[in-house]
Structure 1
Amino acid sequence: MPNSVTVQELVEKVRLKVLQGEDYLDRPITTSDISRPALEFAGYFKHYPALRIQLLGITETSFAKDLTHEKMVKYMTKMCTPQTPCFVISTNLPIPAELKVAAEEAHIPILGTHLTSSQTLSNMTSFLLGRLAPRKSLHGVQVDINGVGVLITGDSGVGKSETALELVRRGHRLVADDRVEVYARDEQTLIGSAPAILEHLMEIRGIGIIDVATLYGTGAVMPNDKIDLIVHLETWTPDAKFDRLGDRGDTQTIQGVIIPKVSVPVKIGRNLAIIIESAAMNYRAETMGYDATETFDRNLNKLIKENSARDSKKKDQQ
């Protein structure tokens, strides 16, 4: 099913006013790109982006006032194509009379807002990117640990859900269990959320399905969150090799976004919730400029130099 949202959803989520065309709010929006018509008011329609929302602000409406009525009728009629989802007018500006008629004839709604064009453009783009971006479904659990979005992955039965439940009990928040729908908000930001059918729900082997929001309160869940760190749970084996110093720098690329990754061995007696909580806090410390591995290296080098100087002094005394 192709990604799309309706004009009605845009009105509700971005808090726009319907100025005209309340009966046509079911028109689909299929792209997050938004057009601010400029060349069109000069009569150039060769590359008119008809599929985009058309945003009119002070600049566009001021320029339109200098056009003749005949040109305005011609241009507005051309802009009102069967593919055009809607027009949005910012800054509480009045609807140009020619647009009012052309949009009504083409059954295209006209929306308005008191915000500036820049603010309106930002709000609509943010909403549409979140809804229309290509999504990928991943097997895993996502939790928010003190503001750090953590995606927990691993083989089925390794303990992802049970670990996430313990994290929720420790005051952190569940985003998604079992399946995580992810999309790239931009080149550096990955967003995860739960499929609608699994929202707020967890499956705990031996118990079944539980509703986290009901059991632990609405503060224990989040509708979506950034993915800052991936923690991969691996069953421990004697011959497996794991990073002991934290200097390996593993990453995983999802939807074109590079995410730091750590692998944690799963062994009887290990408190995975505390380990993952520590991994998240260590990630935050590193983003703030503190690297425990570098501190260890400095301390080790200092100790080596001190021992070397002590040995040299002993030799000289002998």
Structure 2
Amino acid sequence: MKILTVEDVVQKFSLKVLTGENKLKEQIRQPKCHRPGLEFVGHFDFFPTERVQILGRKEITYLHKLSKEERQMRIGNIVKYHPPCFIVTAGEEGLTYLTQYCKEEGIPLLCTNVPQITSEFINHLDNYMLKILAPVMTVHGVCINVYGLGILLRGNSGVGKSETAHTMIGRGHRLVADDVVVLKKLSPRTILGTHDGKTKEFLALRSVGLLNVVRLYGRKAFQDESKISLDIKLTKWQKNSLNNELDHESKFTEYMGVQIPHIEIQLQPGRDVAGLIEAAANNWLLKQQGYSAAEEFMKRLESEF
């Protein structure tokens, strides 16, 4: 997990720093921000004090309607919990009272350069913080995006993962990462695949060398990240194994507690591995829509008896 500071958020979203310039190195530990509401009327039982606090037009308008004494009390009750920072999305006009309290408590008070729709800003900020603070692991393999699905290709060194990815690029699919795939856990059901920065856009092919797929094939050949939907292991061909079962038992690979559907594809000269990966991706999409070819076939057989 990477370290995220208030300064990182300031730079990412080009925020104005109104107070707390000496506190910008403070860490943000929670990947979601909070928009205080109940806290302004005195309910603090579930106040997430470690989250970034967002004040939009609704909150600022409410505070302006209060008497000076009551407004000071409401603000004072919140700032004493020392959240990482406050971000105001409704402009900096009329924030004298808030500035004063944040200065006294040493809390960064930040403001967007222009008023923004608060819900949209929260979505962007949450997504950014979630990706930065997500649990991370790396795996040896290749990540490609096929028909909008992130597919993790694994297998022993030299089995043909990168060569297969190159073929997939030629079919119009996109490379995400080669050799080192960074996996980020965004939720109990979501794993995001991306590169480690150093290998971005590069694909290493034996006997050919290192390729920059964007320089060779254009921007459409590369995608920065993709949600992992399938885990495919490429293995050498073994006679009398992986026969054509009508409906083989579903298998999964677990990454950081998240189960990803898993299949194995055996390699043999002349076998269209890229085509099999495309078929697996399309089949996964159909299953998400509730269709199973094996179930339909079995129903046809049963209807004859």
Name the CA distance, whole Å, in 1 between partners of 2:295 and 2:68: 71
Provide, for residues 202-224 of structure 1, a one-character-per-residue CA deviation record: whole Å limited to 9, x for no partner: 22122232211111111100110
By how many angstroms is 1:252 displaced?
Answer: 2.0
**Rg: which structure is higher?**
1
The one-letter code of the counterpart of 1:20 is L
Name the CA distance, whole Å, in 2 between partners of 1:215 and 1:161: 15
Which residues in structure 2 correspond to 1:75-90 (within 5 Å)? 76=75, 79-80=78-79, 84-90=83-89
Which residues in structure 2 correspond to 1:29-40 (within 5 Å)? 29-38=28-37, 40=39
Q: Which runs of 5+ in 2 are unaligned?
A: none
Range that drifts further, 128-137 or 109-118: 109-118
Name the CA distance, whole Å, in 2 between partners of 1:272 and 1:161: 12
| Paired position in structure 2 for 1:276 | 277
Q: Percent identity?
A: 30
Provide, for residues 112-153 of structure 1, a one-character-per-residue CA deviation record: whole Å limited to 9, x for no partner: 353343333222112111111111112211111111211111
SS in 2 for 1:238: coil
Provide, for residues 181-240 of structure 1, a one-character-per-residue CA deviation record: whole Å limited to 9, x for no partner: 112222322211011111111221222322111111111001101111111112222253
Which residues in structure 2 correspond to 1:209-248 (within 5 Å)? 209-242=210-243, 244-248=245-249
Q: Which runs of 5+ in 1 are unaligned?
A: 306-318
Provide, for residues 90-128 of structure 1, a one-character-per-residue CA deviation record: whole Å limited to 9, x for no partner: 344735322212334526141235334333322211211
The one-letter code of the counterpart of 1:225 is S
The one-letter code of the counterpart of 1:227 is I
By how many angstroms is 1:286 displaced?
Answer: 2.3
| Paired position in structure 2 for 1:315 | none
Range that drifts further, 190-199 or 51-60: 51-60
Which residues in structure 2 correspond to 1:103-252 (within 5 Å)? 103-105=102-104, 106=106, 108-112=108-112, 114-242=115-243, 244-252=245-253
| Paired position in structure 1 for 2:18 | 20
TM-score normalised by the chain length of structure 2: 0.84
SS in 1 for 2:198: helix
Name the CA distance, whole Å, in 2 between partners of 1:45 and 1:279: 50
CA contact (8 A) 2:84 2:107 kept: no
Which residues in structure 2 correspond to 1:248-263 (within 5 Å)? 248-263=249-264
Name the CA distance, whole Å, in 1 between partners of 2:235 and 2:82: 50
By how many angstroms is 1:161 displaced?
Answer: 0.9
The one-letter code of the counterpart of 1:5 is L
Decide whether aligned partners of structure 1 residues 222 and 78 sit closer, same or farther in structure 2, where only a CA change above 3 A counts: same
Superposed CA RMSD in Å reads: 3.0
CA contact (8 A) 1:3 1:30 kept: no
CA contact (8 A) 1:56 1:89 kept: yes
By how many angstroms is 1:50 displaced?
Answer: 4.2
The one-letter code of the counterpart of 1:35 is H
The size of the alignment, in residue pairs, is 302
